[in-house]
A = this chain, B = another copy of it.
């Protein structure tokens, strides 16, 4: 979020290496920002936090913050997400989107931010469990990309890049699963695809495609409870191959 300034625990690892001159290069602040996405009500949404101080005071921004002295970038992203939203993720599930370092992107000082994409399973409303008490909200990605909801800093561009990346990953990886609970119906999986790609998919063709893809999903013996208006009960599936314990 480029906001909060944690106390400097120590400026440099000690002992300072011989022959190293701390004044010989430009110091940067390095932050991480997280684009946490979820699909709810057939809509792709992302988590935003309202800034409590200038610049961009009162504006919506991505959760994030400074990387600590002995922390990996992905670790910092997972920590910030936990602190600000209470959502726990593994560093392996975070995907690096890119880095943003325009000299003017933060009016206070020179900041380079590394953006990470994360996925939550059907997050209905913004969590309040974060230790950093701050107003959080889940907003549709369309609200941001249509400029109806402006963001602080260059976060709009980060969101665009994260969504582009998510769309590309949808075809080539199994990201779609991480939007669903451990057991899910093909319909749920299809609605995730539809929300992300902003398109309608033929249910029959989609079924054929995902069930035919080797090692993509495996059926269970269980059925999902039927809906309000009846209909044939859907098979519950799990991600990956049969052996996979995921």
Interface residues of A (CB under 8 A from B): 5-9, 11-13, 17, 20-30, 66-73, 96, 98-103, 107-110, 112, 114
**Chain B residue, CB-CB nearest to A28:** B30
Nearest CB in chain B: distance from A89 CB, A: 18
Q: How far is the CB of A54 from chain B (nearest CB, A)?
A: 8
A70 CB → nearest B CB, Å: 5
> In the complex the two chains form, is B69's CB within 8 Å of A26's CB?
yes
Contacts of A17 in B (CB 8 A): 107-109
Q: Are B108 and A20 in contact (CB under 8 A)?
A: yes
8 Å CB contact of A5 from B25, B28, B72: B25
- Residues of B with C-beta under 8 A to A67: 26, 28, 101, 112
Closest to A30 in B: B28
Q: Is the CB of A30 within 8 A of B112?
A: yes
Complex formed: what's the CA distance from A114 to B115 in Å?
Answer: 12
Number of copies: 2
Taken together as a complex, chains A and B put the C-alpha atoms of A73 and B102 apart, in Å, by 7
Q: Within the complex, which residue of B109, B112, B114 is in contact with A13, where a contact is CB–CB below 8 Å?
A: B109
Min CB gap A77→B, angstroms: 11
Which of B5, B103, B114 is within 8 Å of A99, CB to CB? B114
B101 near A72 with CB under 8 A, answer yes
Given contacts A17-B109, A72-B103, A114-B101, contact A26 B5 (CB under 8 A): no
Q: Which residues of B have CB within 8 Å of A28?
A: 27-30, 67, 112
Q: A23-B11, A25-B6, A98-B96 are in contact. Are A69 and B103 (CB under 8 A)?
A: yes
- What chain B residues lie within 8 Å of A26 (beta carbons)? 8-9, 11, 29-30, 66-69
Q: How far is the CA of A60 from the CA of B203 in the complex (A)?
A: 53
A30's partner among B22, B30, B71 (CB-CB below 8 A) is: B30
Complex CA–CA separation, A109 to B18 (angstroms) = 11
Taken together as a complex, chains A and B put the C-alpha atoms of A23 and B72 apart, in Å, by: 21
Select the residue from A29, A71, A99 with max chain B CB neighbours within 10 A: A99
Complex CA gap A25/B22 in Å reads 15
A-B contact pairs, 18 of them (CB 8 A): A6-B24, A11-B23, A11-B26, A11-B27, A13-B110, A25-B66, A26-B68, A67-B101, A69-B103, A70-B103, A71-B103, A72-B101, A72-B102, A73-B100, A99-B99, A99-B114, A112-B112, A112-B114
